[in-house]
Amino acid sequence: MTNIMLRAIVRPEKTPDVLQALLDAGYPAVTKIDVFGRGKQRGLKIGNVVYDELPKELLILVIDERHKNAVIGIILDAARTGTEGAYGDGKVFVSPVEEVYTISTGVKEAADVKTTVTV
């Protein structure tokens, strides 16, 4: 079993839809962080005011790589605005996860092997 980390940057108003869709599909474990930033559109201009950093939310999930396409599809569908999507809807980043440790038990989880680590 190979784990991957998905980091999805989404519009704050779409976060409840994404979280519910993930929960409904059996992926309840998500970390959510409020973030600010800008993408290719370089912020937002309203009249003479430029909003250089826009509020977004960062959702972090670690899942089995076998579920990658399904989970990415869930996020894309739930986070997209309208039927066509729009600039600023966000991004999904995929990274490998080499090791996972459970703090309370000291159990290291990797490649179907669980061992207790003593520190």
The phi, psi pair for 4, rounded to 5°, reads: -130, 155
Confidence at residue 92, expressed as pLDDT on a 0 to 100 scale: 98
3-state SS class at 30: coil
3-state SS class at 116: strand
pLDDT greater at residue 113 or residue 55: 55
1-54 pLDDT, tens per residue? 689 999 999 999 999 999 999 999 999 999 999 999 887 777 777 888 877 888
d(CA 29, CA 86): 27
What are the structural domains, with CATH classification, of the chain?
3-116 (3.30.70.120)
56-91 pLDDT, tens per residue? 999 999 999 999 999 999 999 999 998 888 888 999
Burial 107-116 (b: 16+ CB within 10 A, else e): eebeeeeeee
d(CA 96, CA 65): 9
d(CA 83, CA 102): 40
| pTM reported for the whole predicted model | 0.83
Nearest alpha carbon to residue 93 among 12, 39, 49, 16: 39
The phi, psi pair for 50, rounded to 5°, reads: -110, 125
